Amino acid sequence: MIREEPGKVMPHQRHYQVGNVVRICKEPPKARSSGFLLGSLHVIKRPPEGCINSASAIWLQDKQRQLRSLQFMYWEWTGKVEKPIRTRTK
C-alpha cells in the first residue's frame, strides 16, 4: 500500500503535474482542428474547477486557447518541465 503525504508529489505522480511538457504520440480524434498533431509538444495546464489532472487524462490548451482533456493513450511525458514566466508587478 502506498501512503501519500499531503502536499507531497509521489514519484508515480510526477509525469502529469502542471507545467510538464508532453509529446503527442498518437493523434486523437479531430487532431487537426485542436492542434494535437503527431509529434507536437504541449504544456499541461491547470484543470478547470471540479476536474483534475491524473494518469488517465490531462488538460491541455488547443490552438484556440481552450482547455481540452486528453486521454493517456495519446500523449507521453518528455521529462521536461516548462519554467514559469516571471511577471513584474508595479
pLDDT for residue 85:
65
Which domains does the chain show, CATH number per domain? Answer: 13-81 (2.30.30)
Q: How many residues does the chain have?
A: 90
User: Which residues contact residue 70 at a Cβ distance below 8 angstroms, ignoring those fewer than 6 apart?
Assistant: 28, 36, 57, 58, 59, 60
Of the candidates 69, 80, 79, the residue with the CA atom closest to the CA atom of residue 46: 69
Q: Are 50 and 63 in contact (CB under 8 A)?
A: no
pLDDT for residue 11:
80
When pLDDT is averaged across residues 81-88 and rounded to a whole number, the result is 72
pLDDT for residue 9:
79
The model carries a pTM of 0.82
pLDDT for residue 90:
61
- Tens-digit pLDDT profile for residues 6-63: 778 788 888 888 999 999 999 999 999 999 999 999 999 999 999 999 999 999 999 9
